[in-house]
């Protein structure tokens, strides 16, 4: 008996299909079968409204166009699919999957912004306020939806129960351009008769303090507000709507201070029992002000929200130098503590957080002006009380717990890991435990730096959507997590900010802090390279189409900043955090900034030319290809000697010029490659690159055949190197190669985060070259299997859930004999290119290949 099974179709890049914003959601499915060499010949899609495509001759199965009429607001549609093989086989119908649109038209919004009255508002990051109203439902309910967002961050409750499981909702977007709302199915929380709805509203990014150098507050407005629309459909066919307006009433509650950086202060004695339940007497509460807001700014999410994703128990309890209780969670993470505590009313427990210890105590200097301190004041119940802050997160491995009443029991504390609830899709392991830890550290840094947006770091007074950081990390990110949905939201913000301020800001959302906007290479190039990476990894041409104006605007703007196509003026971050830069001047890199900027200009111009060609903009394609050519010529004229040396003799310069292919022909490349190998050897095979060179250097070395040197860099343990932090006990990627010095002290510089993913971009090379799994065509429609074993490894494996199903490369080495097990998803082919062997094609299914490794690799 053969089996042929097709998954229920997925809608766009969604994990949560309540309240999607696409009227024509594209559908994707994967097929599993034991029929050898099965290939999809045709598909049929059926929608719940009776529409059927009939048999469509096509082997497409990822992001297939919506076959039905465009959906209107609040439309719920089921979809299922059936596939036919080229061999005449046919699957059964898949399970149904469901998608439901949110409010697609601004005119659907009837809610005003209910703002707590001025007399309740404290200073920014002050109290979180309560809003509520009671209401009566006159009949049995068929279904109910809550469409909700806020100016601020909120947690909603209905009849005493928290709605959904979002954390820090609605997350941070460029609020004055795009404010995400969420749709919740609240049918089960309501009942006929008396009901109540409420929300706790904190300042968050909207009104709270954001940014370094003192930061700013009130960035988006001086008043927080809740925007909620509860729509009820009764069984009898009638409807009702409860919206935020001036009938809502407000009061302060138990959260006396809530700041994203400083933490939360919660006095449980101030909790008005039953405040979000029916029958609560709110006559002493003050009416909300009904403010206007622009419903055209409200957008549905394209990815999952932040959630509590995992809890970790303490691994050890330590005593600090002053007798303080320190809890070690064994992992640097992002989230907060949940405690269970019992004690007298009015007693306060204080929770402080840090990523590392210095001299046995919390090292808080790297947090700069983020207090990262939560406080809980007990109600004094007869039962233990549970506290977890709701309007803050911290980056920490260690917590100091002060004021615990009675004997401290570590079983009463867990760390709650919070981040965007993306689906993990990639795995890597190999025979070297240190490299495995390095890879695990990359995964944890991705998790910690995806609290609703891709950030630089999660712990200090920063946590901004730095463009350069995600530009270099996007390939690794896209392998590890399904981040197309979340990143496409961030890219929409990037485009909106870019259109407003006239360039790609240094971080998105943009907040003017100590410096203004200016175009900077490698950072601004995120506008081009992040969408391109997502296209390569998911095949989503629609995303490229949407970002195209932003991509071209960036390259066009840079073209105006160049002289003879050289970008040699204006502020640049350059090869930020070059290990040779002094601690107090992280921008003082060895690599010429003009070289970095001009190389990136050539790179982005070429990618925009390729994008234009894909989208059918032929004139643009020719124009940008020509521009890329001019920039290459200018680069060579300025920086390359005829024999292939660079005017700037650094690892980053060669890595960049080789990656962007800026040399003139194979001789120059070969000479440049040799020089790069010499430079790395002269540094005793220690890394000499910052943010710009680090993601590229191993690929650059391999592109000139220097695999051995790439492995020597990767497996180096002396500082600076990728493994030095691992030998120092790191559990995340550090901002600096030596955020911690060998004597255990924290680097004296300012930039000493212990959780920055940028230098972890090397993980992508590990996936593609150490294990040997990469897309050969967009979306892994063709897969490249090209392991290049080295570094003394005897085994490596990478697996990735591609849009077509699970792909895997798993090799073992016994002496010179290499055995490679490959899994190729259905509807794809693999090009298997083993060392010293001609490349061969492999169809779907499991394969095992053998070869003898040529010497030396």
Rule CB under 6 A: which residues touch ligand BGC?
456-457, 462, 466, 468-469, 573, 576, 756
Task: Indicate the residue whose CB is closest to ligand BGC.
Answer: 456
Which positions are annotated as active-site residues?
A: 462, 735
Q: How far is the CB of 473 from ligand BGC (least distance, A)?
A: 10
For the chain, how are helix, strand and coil distributed in percent, rounded to 5? Answer: 25, 30, 45
Q: How far is the CB of 456 from ligand BGC (least distance, A)?
A: 3
Cα distance between residue 376 and residue 357, in whole Å? 24
Cα distance between residue 696 and residue 683, in whole Å? 17
Q: Which two tokens stand for residue 761?
A: 């971009």
Q: How far is the CB of 596 from ligand BGC (least distance, A)?
A: 12
Kind and range of the H or E run holding 265:
strand 263-267
- Strand ranges for 614-680 from DSSP E: none
Cα distance between residue 474 and residue 492, in whole Å? 16
Question: Looking at beta carbons only, is 134 or 468 nearer to ligand BGC?
Answer: 468
Question: Looking at beta carbons only, is 166 or 462 nearer to ligand BGC?
Answer: 462
Question: Looking at beta carbons only, is 18 or 573 nearer to ligand BGC?
Answer: 573
Question: Looking at beta carbons only, is 704 or 762 nearer to ligand BGC?
Answer: 762
Question: Looking at beta carbons only, is 38 or 567 nearer to ligand BGC?
Answer: 567
Question: Looking at beta carbons only, is 468 or 749 nearer to ligand BGC?
Answer: 468
Query: What is the rounded end-to-end Cα distance, in angstroms, of the chain?
Result: 45
Classify the C-alpha dihedral 532-538-539-545 as positive or negative.
Answer: negative
Q: How far is the CB of 331 from ligand BGC (least distance, A)?
A: 21
Q: On the CB side of 746, how many CA atoms lie within 13 Å of its CA? A: 23
Query: Residue 578: CB partners within 8 Å, gap ≥ 6?
Result: 588, 589, 590, 591, 652, 688, 689, 690, 693
CA dihedral of residues 124, 125, 126, 132 (deg, nearest 10): 100
Exposed e or buried b per residue across 315-337, where buried means at least 16 C-beta atoms within 10 angstroms of its C-beta: eeeeeeeeeebbbebebbbbbbb
| H-only helix segments in 82-240 | 204-207
Q: How far is the CB of 25 from ligand BGC (least distance, A)?
A: 34
Q: How far is the CB of 736 from ligand BGC (least distance, A)?
A: 10
Q: How far is the CB of 317 from ligand BGC (least distance, A)?
A: 32
Question: Looking at beta carbons only, is 464 or 680 nearer to ligand BGC?
Answer: 464
Cα distance between residue 802 and residue 779, in whole Å? 7
Q: What is the 3-state secondary structure (H, E, C) of 36-97?
A: CCCCEEEEEEEECCCCECCCEECCCCCCECCCCCCCCCCCEEEEEEEEEECCCCECCCCCCE
Query: Residue 784: CB partners within 8 Å, gap ≥ 6?
Result: 768, 772, 773, 774, 775, 776, 830, 831, 833
Question: Looking at beta carbons only, is 511 or 613 nearer to ligand BGC?
Answer: 511
């Amino acid at each position: 008996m053969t089996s042929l099974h097709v998954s229920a179709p997925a809608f766009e890049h969604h994990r949560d299909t309540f309240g999607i914003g696409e009227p024509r959601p594209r559908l994707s499915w994967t097929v599993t079968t034991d029929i050898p060499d099965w290939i999809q010949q045709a598909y049929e899609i059926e929608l719940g409204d009776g529409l059927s495509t009939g048999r469509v001759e096509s082997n497409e199965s990822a992001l297939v166009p919506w076959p039905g009429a465009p959906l209107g607001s609040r439309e719920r549609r089921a979809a299922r699919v059936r596939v036919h093989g080229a061999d005449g086989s046919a699957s059964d119908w898949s399970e149904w999957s469901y998608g439901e649109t949110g409010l697609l038209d601004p005119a659907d919004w009837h809610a005003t912004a209910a703002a707590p009255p001025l007399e309740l508002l404290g200073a920014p990051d002050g109290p979180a306020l309560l809003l509520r109203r009671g209401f009566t439902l006159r009949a049995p309910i068929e279904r109910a939806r809550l469409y909700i967002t806020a100016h601020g961050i909120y947690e909603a409750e209905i009849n005493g129960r928290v709605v959904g499981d979002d954390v820090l909702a609605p997350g941070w977007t460029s609020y004055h351009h795009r404010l995400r709302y969420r749709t919740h199915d609240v049918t089960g929380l309501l009942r006929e008769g008396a009901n109540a709805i409420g929300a706790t509203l904190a300042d968050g990014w909207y009104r709270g303090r954001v940014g370094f150098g003192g930061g700013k507050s009130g960035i988006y407005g001086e008043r927080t507000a809740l925007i909620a629309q509860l729509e009820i459909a009764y069984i009898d066919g009638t409807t009702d709507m409860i919206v935020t307006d001036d009938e809502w009433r407000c009061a302060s509650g138990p959260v006396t201070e809530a700041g994203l950086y400083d933490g939360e202060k919660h006095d449980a004695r101030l909790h008005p029992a039953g405040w979000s339940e029916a029958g609560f007497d709110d006559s002493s509460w003050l009416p909300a002000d009904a403010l206007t807001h622009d419903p055209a700014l409200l957008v549905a999410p394209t990815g999952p929200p932040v959630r509590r994703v995992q809890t970790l128990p303490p691994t050890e309890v330590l005593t600090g130098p002053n007798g303080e209780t320190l809890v070690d969670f064994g992992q640097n993470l992002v989230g907060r503590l949940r405690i269970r505590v019992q004690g007298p009313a009015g007693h306060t427990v204080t929770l402080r957080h840090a990523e590392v210890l210095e001299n046995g105590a919390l090292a808080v200097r790297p947090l700069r002006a983020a207090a990262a301190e939560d406080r809980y004041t007990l109600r004094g119940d007869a039962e233990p009380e549970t506290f977890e802050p709701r309007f803050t997160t911290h980056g920490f491995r260690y917590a100091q717990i002060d004021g615990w009443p009675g004997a401290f029991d570590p079983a009463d504390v867990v760390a709650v890991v919070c981040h965007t609830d993306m689906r993990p899709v990639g795995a890597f392991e190999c025979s070297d435990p240190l490299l495995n830890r390095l890879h695990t550290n990359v995964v944890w840094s991705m998790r910690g730096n995806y609290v609703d947006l891709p950030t630089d770091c999660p712990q200090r007074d920063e946590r901004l959507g730095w463009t350069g950081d995600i530009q270099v990390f996007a390939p690794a990110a896209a392998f590890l997590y399904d981040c197309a949905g979340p990143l496409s939201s961030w890219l929409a913000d990037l485009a909106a900010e870019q259109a407003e301020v006239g360039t790609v800001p240094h971080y998105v959302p943009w907040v003017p802090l100590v410096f203004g906007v200016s175009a900077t290479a490698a950072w601004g190039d995120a506008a081009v390279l992040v969408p391109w990476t997502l296209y390569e990894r998911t095949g989503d041409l629609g995303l490229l189409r949407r970002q195209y104006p932003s991509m071209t605007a960036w390259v066009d703007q840079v073209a105006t900043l160049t002289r003879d196509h050289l970008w040699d003026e204006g502020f640049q971050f350059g090869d930020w955090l070059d290990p040779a830069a002094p601690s107090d001047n992280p921008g003082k890199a060895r690599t010429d900034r003009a070289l970095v900027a001009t190389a990136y200009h050539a790179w982005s111009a070429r990618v925009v030319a390729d994008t234009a060609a894909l989208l059918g903009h032929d004139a643009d394609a020719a124009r940008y290809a020509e521009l890329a050519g001019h920039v290459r010529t200018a680069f060579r004229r300025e920086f390359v000697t005829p024999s292939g040396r660079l005017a700037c003799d650094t690892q980053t310069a060669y890595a960049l010029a080789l990656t962007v292919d800026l040399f003139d022909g194979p001789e120059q490349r070969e000479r440049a490659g040799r020089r790069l190998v010499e430079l790395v050897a002269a540094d005793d095979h220690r890394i000499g690159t910052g943010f710009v060179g680090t993601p590229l250097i191993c690929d650059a070395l391999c592109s000139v055949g220097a695999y051995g040197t790439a492995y020597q860099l990767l497996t180096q343990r002396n500082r600076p190197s990728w493994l030095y932090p691992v030998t120092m006990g790191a559990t995340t990627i550090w901002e600096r190669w030596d955020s911690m010095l060998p004597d255990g002290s924290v680097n004296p510089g300012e930039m000493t985060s212990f959780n920055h993913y940028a230098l972890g971009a090397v993980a992508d090379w590990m996936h593609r070259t150490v294990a040997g799994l990469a897309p050969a065509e967009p979306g892994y429609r063709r897969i490249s299997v090209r392991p290049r074993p080295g570094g003394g490894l005897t085994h490596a494996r990478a697996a990735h859930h591609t849009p077509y199903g699970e792909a895997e490369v798993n090799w073992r080495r016994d002496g010179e004999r290499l055995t490679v097990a490959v899994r190729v998803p259905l509807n794809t082919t693999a090009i298997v290119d083993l060392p010293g062997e001609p490349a061969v094609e492999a169809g779907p299914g499991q394969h095992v290949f053998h070869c003898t490794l040529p010497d030396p690799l």
